[in-house]
Amino acid sequence: MKEILIQLEHCVACKSCVLACAVEHSESKELFSAIFETPPPVARIFVEAGEEFNFPLQCRHCEEAKCVKACISGALWQDKESGLVHHEKDKCIGCLMCVMLCPFGVLTQAREEKVVLKCDRCPDLDIPACVASCPTKAMSLEEVPVHAREKRKEYLTNFKEQWS
């Protein structure tokens, strides 16, 4: 099982990942033509610039994902093997139940198309676009052993401690 791990102290909130994500999810997958597409390509990763530190945030592909439980049309489902939460655009009706329940606020809406959008871990790429684009190597895609879940949760725990 592979996870995107983040080193908070390396993030300088440059938003390279946001740009790379939007381009990867555009029709042309080229920055210069993507800019002129309608509807404009939408990123599924967000950068939060805080007072003390910054961090990139995209779908955590949660176990027991709240978005999957909230989905009223069967568009969201979790692959038991990979652990990834998948979204089928042609089943989505944009009802926003998942947006209402995602505790990380990482589902976004394509208002024109009336669907939600989320991180798909870039199925066409070996390394997701956000990870590949990061100039400070704040993000990395790493194999995380299933039996050592602590490591998987390191980022989240770190995140949670900063929260409270």
Binding mask 111-140 for another protein (x = CB under 8 A): x--x--------------------------
Residue 103 to residue 54: CA distance in whole angstroms: 18
155 binds another protein (CB under 8 A): no
Task: Pick the binder of another protein from 97, 134, 138, 144 (CB under 8 A).
Answer: 97
Per the CB < 8 A criterion, the answer to whether 117 and 92 are in contact is no
Positions 34 through 53 that interact with another protein (CB under 8 A): 46, 48, 50-51
Q: Taking the CA atoms of 11, 12, 16 and 18 in sequence, report the sign of the dihedral they define.
A: positive
Q: What is the CA radius of gyration of the chain?
A: 16
Say whether 88 sits in a helix, a strand or coil.
Answer: coil
Contact residues: another protein, CB under 8 A: 46, 48, 50-51, 57, 66, 69-70, 72-74, 90-91, 93-109, 111, 114, 159, 162-164
